[in-house]
Amino acid sequence: MKTYEKLLLENKAWAKEKVEQDHEYFDRLAHLQTPEFLWIGCSDSRVPANEITNTQPGEIFVHRNVANLVVHTDVNLLSVLDYAVSHLKVKHVIVCGHYGCGGIKAAMTNHDFKQVLNMWLRNIKDVYRLHRDELEMIMDEEAKCDRLVELNVIEQVMHLAKTSIIQRAWKNEQRPHLHGWVYGLKDGLIKPVFEMEAGTHIDSLYEYDDL
């Protein structure tokens, strides 16, 4: 059997098991999607949003990319954000990074990963530059990388707050609450490192006054 055929076979078994446990499972999900959370996580296969939070289909709206970045010109991410915030009306947006992130490690090197990876990793190098003084005090490479993972998550949450999508929802509906979390591959635990409640003031340069 080919590896991908196993996926299809497992899918059949999973669907059968779900219906056996709850006859209306798929009928209910097909008609309604009201997730309370938007998850912006890393594409890393070891950090599956539903599994590590023990949530079910329908509970978390998910966007994943390399190193969980919020890039203000990324139409993909912004579409997901706008849909989740303006239409699904999620109450929480979670940026979840993870220790040992390959994207973060790559950005700390001087290796040429060629376009387009260089372009993507540049965003992480910018976070490093902003926090160069703090990071270069850390001698242990793994500890330095872990700290950059945390700083990156904090920076991405702040990028969310700079969007008119978030600012409009904050002004009109006092939501969503923004969270920065880091998942540990070694112990499976999530550590909250940052949060911004609706209405938090940011650098006035980024605040829109005609929302």
Sheet holding 177-183, edge to edge: 60-65, 37-42, 92-98, 177-183, 190-196
Residues 132, 124, 150, 137, Cα dihedral to 10°: -20
Using rule CB under 5 A, residue 44 touches Co ion = yes
| Burial of residue 152, with CB atoms counted within 10 A of its CB: 0-12 exposed, 13-18 middle, 19 or more buried | buried
Catalytic residue among 23, 27, 28, 46: 46
Using rule CB under 5 A, residue 42 touches Co ion = yes
CB nearer Co ion, residue 43 or residue 76? 43
Minimum separation from the CB atom of position 128 to Co ion (A):
15
Annotated catalytic, 98?
yes
Annotated catalytic, 42?
yes
CB nearer Co ion, residue 98 or residue 175? 98
Using rule CB under 5 A, residue 96 touches Co ion = no
Annotated catalytic, 145?
no
Minimum separation from the CB atom of position 146 to Co ion (A):
12
Using rule CB under 5 A, residue 155 touches Co ion = no
Catalytic residue among 63, 96, 101, 159: 101
Of 81, 85, 87, give the one whose Cα is nearest residue 68.
81
Annotated catalytic, 122?
no
Dist. CA 179–CA 169, nearest whole Å: 16
Minimum separation from the CB atom of position 49 to Co ion (A):
13
Asked if 181 and 191 count as a contact pair (C-beta separation under 8 A), the reply is yes
Using rule CB under 5 A, residue 145 touches Co ion = no
Q: Judged by CB under 5 A, how many residues of this single chain contact Co ion?
A: 4
Letters for 103-132 (x = contact with Co ion by CB under 5 A, - = none) are x-----------------------------
Dist. CA 171–CA 82, nearest whole Å: 15
Bridge partners (DSSP) listed for residue 182: 97, 191
Question: Could you tell me how far CA 56 lies from the centroid of its own chain?
Answer: 17
Binding site for Co ion (CB under 5 A): 42, 44, 101, 103
Where in the sequence numbering do the catalytic residues fall?
42, 44, 46, 98, 101
